Amino acid sequence: MCGIVGYVGAKQAQDVVVEGLRRLEYRGYDSAGVALVADGRVQVAKRAGKLANLDKILAEKPLPASQLGIGHTRWATHGAPTDRNAHPHTDCSGRIAVVHNGIIENFATLRAGLEDRGHTLVSDTDTEAVAHLLEEVLRDGATTLTAAMRVVCQQLHGAFTLVVVDAQQPDAVVAARRNSPLVVGRGEGENFVASDVAAFIQHTREAIELGQDQVVTITATEVSVTDFAGDPVELREFHVDWDASAAEKGGYEWFMLKEIDEQPQAVSDTLLGRFSPSGQLQLDEMRLSNGELREIDKVIVIACGTAFYAGMVAKYAIEHWTRIPCEVELASEFRYRDPVLDRSTLVVAISQSGETMDTLMAIRHARQQRSRVLAICNTNGSTIPRESDAVIYTHAGPEVAVAGTKTFLAQIVACYLLGLYLAQVRGTKYGDEVAATVRELRKIPAAIARLLAEAEPVRELARSLVGARSVLFVGRHVGFPVALEGALKLKELAYIHAEGFAAGELKHGPIALIDEGVPVFVVVPPQGRDMVHDKVVSNIQEIRARGARTIVLAEDGDDDVVPYADDLIRLPKVPTLLQPLVSTVPLQIFACELATRLGRDVDQPRNLAKSVTVE
């Protein structure tokens, strides 16, 4: 959430910053603004609502030409989404402008002190206090904005990325981070800071990652980084391996449609390069020795939202393949229940962005308890992988739509790779067994491609259910997390009531929700799981007997379901544990089509943000 861009160079800063903000719209926001340094002054324009509102005011009242500026798209935490609360915020004199991502937890105390000392604060935000604190420190003798930033950051509690400009230092942008994303883009005669590389990828693919509690100063030709104490920090550079075109719609109505269609490639790329020349499974940046992995006696998967459901799928695979007990927990609840952890616990943190605050704080708690931590992440150089002992990167490429699709499948694949790797290291599966499962995984992209090519009946189904007020999803075994994910997608995109249930729990309460005409999606396990399969067929009969519209997802050749399915969606035959990779796809398409027909903003659902960087 909250997009941040800073620029200094030879181009017109306003154009660079606004375009960067446009590329960060996927993060979710409710207001936008820019600040430029020109003619010895800070010039600010900001408006509540979408970037179009900011574009309009900039067209009506153009800002002066400038080669240095900052911009922000805000997702409200303190104060309503209004023009007054939009970023950037300035100090009393208008010398300083600040944009901010995160939450400053002690802002009320800071604000009260500032007001007692004669400052006038005009917004309801926690951010504005920072501008006034910088004003004080500079007035009291700090020689540079960088030095002032270091002093102020040491007064702040909470999570923050701050980007600041000073009218009296018109050649530099200064930024700082603590527990909130920030990356530097390094160009030729120009440099950038942003909350995501997407903001500057059209200008440069060379980037610098920042650690915790660090301050960066960029000019047109230099980048310097120190910690909050002022000690120099060695630059950690990396190359971004995708380009601007990867974040463009490419003719699709929605980014989400494009990303759904990119899933065969995302799965394929996540599998790419995972075998050594000798045929052994190998993982990126594992950094945990085989000996350490053999000591593991418990796995705990922590994640939020869609990633949590990927973790639920992981539990079935990891326990089946490795015989290690595996728990799955919401990251937001994990550390507050005082979990029992030790050196033999492997905590697996799943996060698309690598900046999810709940998950980040959970892994820090785990590390304090001496647990080993492995990250599954789609974003190179982000905080969660850097603070973990090991990482498996998914290679899904940039995902712009707020609702996760291709990253969900890539996360599941990464979880499978982890389970197989642990089985290989611990000897619970022979090498040929691991190789056989990987061969099945390699068939999945073609299976997904078939589903995408045959998706029109799913879209027709969605169009027929535009008037539905509630949709239910049920499944057993790995079909249960698929049911939960299907319901989440519909809630996120269409804003209608949807719930997912374990099929065996129907008679323990949820069956009371089933009424005449209620659509119920049922994910049927492959026929190889005879005991579970037959129970789900019985569940379908129970549901249909109560008047529901049964929408059945079943593999090719499963004729047992035909008499009880009002609508039948055929799935390619795959091994049971791998079925979520195919059964999820029709549910994504259904949710996207229904939301479109209801006139929803599919890529940026209301109240949601792509990366949740506050608790």
DSSP string computed for 475-506: ESTTHHHHHHHHHHHHHHHH-SEEEEEEGGGG
Beta bridge partners of 203: none
Measured CA to CA, the distance from residue 459 to residue 465 in angstroms comes to: 10
Residue 507 among the catalytic residues: no
- Report pLDDT for 28: 64
Q: In what order do the strands lie in the sheet with 326-330?
A: 326-330, 298-303, 345-351, 372-377, 390-393
- Report pLDDT for 40: 92
Catalytic residue among 2, 326, 377, 415: 2
Tell me the CATH number for domain 456-597. Answer: 3.40.50.10490
Look at residues 409, 324, 404, 416 and name the one whose alpha carbon lies nearest to residue 372: 324
Measured CA to CA, the distance from residue 392 to residue 271 in angstroms comes to: 11
- Report pLDDT for 142: 85
Would you say how long the chain is, in residues? 615
373 three-state secondary structure: strand
Q: Which of 160-169, 237-246, 500-509 has the lowest mean pLDDT?
A: 237-246
Burial zone of 285 (CB within 10 Å; 0-12 exposed, 13-18 middle, 19+ buried): middle
Asked if 367 and 373 count as a contact pair (C-beta separation under 8 A), the reply is: yes
- Domain residue ranges in the chain: 3-247, 255-447, 456-597
Q: Return the CATH fold of 255-447.
A: Rossmann fold (3.40.50)
Measured CA to CA, the distance from residue 310 to residue 350 in angstroms comes to: 8
Task: Look at residue 606 and tell me whether its pLDDT is greater than 60.
Answer: yes
Averaged pLDDT score across all residues of the chain: 93
Task: Look at residue 207 and tell me whether its pLDDT is greater than 80.
Answer: yes
Residue 246 pLDDT grade (very low, low, confident, very high; cuts 50, 70, 90):
low
Residue 377 among the catalytic residues: no
CA 275 and chain centroid, separation: 28
Task: Look at residue 247 and tell me whether its pLDDT is greater than 80.
Answer: no
| Phi-psi category of residue 235: left, alpha or beta, with phi > 0 → left and psi -120 to 50 → alpha | beta
SS3 of 312-364: the string is HHHHHHHHHHHCCCEEEEEHHHHHHHCCCCCCCEEEEEEECCCCCHHHHHHHH
Fill in the amino acid letter for 118: G
Give residue-wise pLDDT tens across range 559-573.
999 999 999 999 999
* φ/ψ of residue 528, rounded to 5: -60, -25
pTM score of the predicted model: 0.74
Measured CA to CA, the distance from residue 78 to residue 531 in angstroms comes to: 53
Give residue-wise pLDDT tens across range 39-82.
999 999 999 998 999 999 999 999 999 999 999 998 777 888 89
SS3 of 159-194: the string is EEEEEEEECCCCCCEEEEEECCCCEEEECCCCEEEE
Q: What is the mean pLDDT of residues 227-254?
A: 83
H/E stretch holding 532: helix 530-545
Asked if 267 and 408 count as a contact pair (C-beta separation under 8 A), the reply is: no
The CATH number of domain 3-247, selected from 3.40.50.300, 3.60.20.10, 2.70.150.10, 3.30.465.10: 3.60.20.10
Asked if 355 and 385 count as a contact pair (C-beta separation under 8 A), the reply is: no
Q: What angle do CA 539, 545, 550 make, to 5 degrees?
A: 65
Give residue-wise pLDDT tens across range 2-29.
789 999 999 999 999 999 999 888 666 7
Same-fold call for 3-247 versus 456-597:
no
Task: Look at residue 92 and tell me whether its pLDDT is greater than 80.
Answer: yes
Q: Which distant-in-sequence residues (6+ apart) come within 8 Å of 275 by Cβ?
A: 281, 282, 438
Look at residues 25, 50, 4, 30 and name the one whose alpha carbon lies nearest to residue 402: 25
Catalytic residue among 46, 315, 491, 610: 610
